Amino acid sequence: MSAKPAITLSKTTYQKLSRLLESVPENMITDQLLDELERADIVDGADLPEDVVDMHSEVTFTVQATGKTFTYTLVYPTELDSTEHKLSILSPVGSAIIGLRAGDEIDWPLTREKNTLVRVESVKPSAASAG
**Main-chain dihedrals φ then ψ at residue 69, nearest 5 degrees:** -110, 140
**What percentage of the chain exceeds 70 in pLDDT?**
93
pLDDT tens profile 28-43: 889 989 999 999 999 9
pLDDT tens profile 7-24: 999 999 999 999 999 999
Helix (H, G, I), strand (E, B) or coil at 18: helix
Model confidence, pTM: 0.89
Q: Where are the domains of the chain?
A: 8-124
pLDDT tens profile 80-123: 988 789 999 999 889 999 999 999 999 877 777 888 899 999 99
The CATH number of the domain covering residues in 8-124:
3.10.50.30
Q: Name which of 9, 3, 1 is nearest 100 in CA terms.
A: 9
Sign of CA dihedral 96, 119, 9, 81: negative
Bridge pairing between strands 86-88 and 68-75: parallel
Distances (CA, A) of 31 to 2, 88, 131: 19, 15, 21
Tell me, what's the pLDDT at 70?
A: 95
- Asked if residues 20 and 95 have their Cβ atoms less than 8 Å apart, the reply is no
